[in-house]
A = this chain, B = another copy of it.
Amino acid sequence: MSGIDNYSRRDWVAEVGSQSAMPILRMTERLEAFRENFGANLQFQRGNITDYDTVANMLRHHQPDAIVHLAEMPSAPYSMIDAQHAVYTHQNNLMGTLNLLFAMRDITPDAHLLKLGTMGEYGTPNVDIPEGFFEIEFRGRKDTLPFPRQPGSFYHLTKVHDSANIMFACRMWGLRSTDIMQGVVFGTRIDAMGDDERLVTRLDFDQAFGTAINRFCAQAAIGLPITPYGKGAQTRGFLPLRDSIQCFTLALETPPEEGEYRVFNQFEETYVISELAEMVREVADRLGLNPEVRHLENPRKEMEEHYFNPDHSKLLELGYEPTHDIKTEIEAVLKDLIKNKSRIEARSESLLPDIRWDGTRRKSDYR
């Protein structure tokens, strides 16, 4: 088992004026903690997969059965800052994936590529969202086709492009891949961590890299209002970090066939954003935090009320047991964040959005 990372996420987060709420240790210490907890050496190299030779050497050296690709720039706002950031997001995300596909073809053609996509690839169509493909009848003829994507940012577009590139590589070269359309992840912990705080992972709360529930919890933890964007009637699929990891494990245990490109929609349940904000407020109240919920002018251009009914049965069929108790999960996040209050306070400016979809930079007002 081995990993590769170029640590660029901490640079991106620093660029938008923030830091992880949870302090994370140096890689050497985390690897040591991993060894102590799991009795196995995790090999690690610092490297950038947008360099083809780095990828090819890694595959040649480790001959992996499975590759979990999480090396993409994951922020919609960051990708919308300006032309340079949109271009960078395309370069980082597409080049890394293309290098992996070519290196897999030539070095480990039987390996399983588990690639992280996003539910945001689909956008919010006025029809049900299947898992990747749908059978249609059009003018009396039938075919099974990729479901049309209507992503809402350049970041989401790069995910769509990657999905198309991977689908093509599976069809052309017989590669096998699982493309996970992941909902919005929140949370600080997974079961395997136990109580070893050295294994803790980062939690971003800034406008660009913080996801909705994590941001709401960070706001509640330091006594700021919880701020849904716009009407707050946007609906999305959500899942706790522990479910995300559980699903990856299930997908890896049952790899696709040769040439198979399969798509899993991965989320516990869909929630309306303002309902989640209320849920965070309720749990925070119990912890004596008493935050307000105040809606902000939406910095994004998106539908604020819409139909949203995505399928999500494939992972359940593989044995996914969702964490339905979202409030317990939110409580755990709040407790972790309260412990790190000063780290959030030091970067509290980064919580309120100023990256706007129209290209201007201006802090959103309360509605």
A residues near B (Cβ < 8 Å) are: 52, 82-84, 86-87, 90-91, 94-95, 98-99, 102-103, 105-106, 125-128, 134, 136-139, 141-143, 145-151, 154, 157, 160-161, 164-165, 168, 171-173, 301, 307, 357-359
A80 to chain B, nearest CB (A): 9
CB-CB under 8 A from A157, the residues of chain B are: 161, 164-165, 168
CB-CB under 8 A from A301, the residues of chain B are: 171-172
CB-CB under 8 A from A102, the residues of chain B are: 82-83, 86, 359
CB-CB under 8 A from A164, the residues of chain B are: 149, 151, 157, 160-161
Of A83, A87, A143, A164, which is in contact with the most chain B CB atoms at under 10 Å from its CB?
A: A83
Contact of A95 (CB < 8 Å), options: B87, B98, B149: B87
Count this chain's copies in the assembly. Answer: 2
Which 3 A-B residue pairings sit nearest by Cβ, starting from the closest?
A: A83-B102, A126-B143, A145-B148
CB-CB under 8 A from A82, the residues of chain B are: 102
A-B contact pairs, 17 of them (CB 8 A): A83-B102, A90-B94, A90-B95, A90-B98, A91-B95, A102-B359, A105-B359, A127-B142, A128-B139, A134-B138, A141-B307, A157-B164, A160-B164, A161-B164, A171-B301, A172-B301, A172-B357
CA distance A143 to B309 in the complex (A): 14
A6 to chain B, nearest CB (A): 17
CA distance A143 to B129 in the complex (A): 12
Nearest-CB residue, chain B, relative to A144: B126
CB-CB under 8 A from A95, the residues of chain B are: 87, 90-91
CA distance A99 to B87 in the complex (A): 8
CA distance A134 to B138 in the complex (A): 9
CA distance A52 to B21 in the complex (A): 35
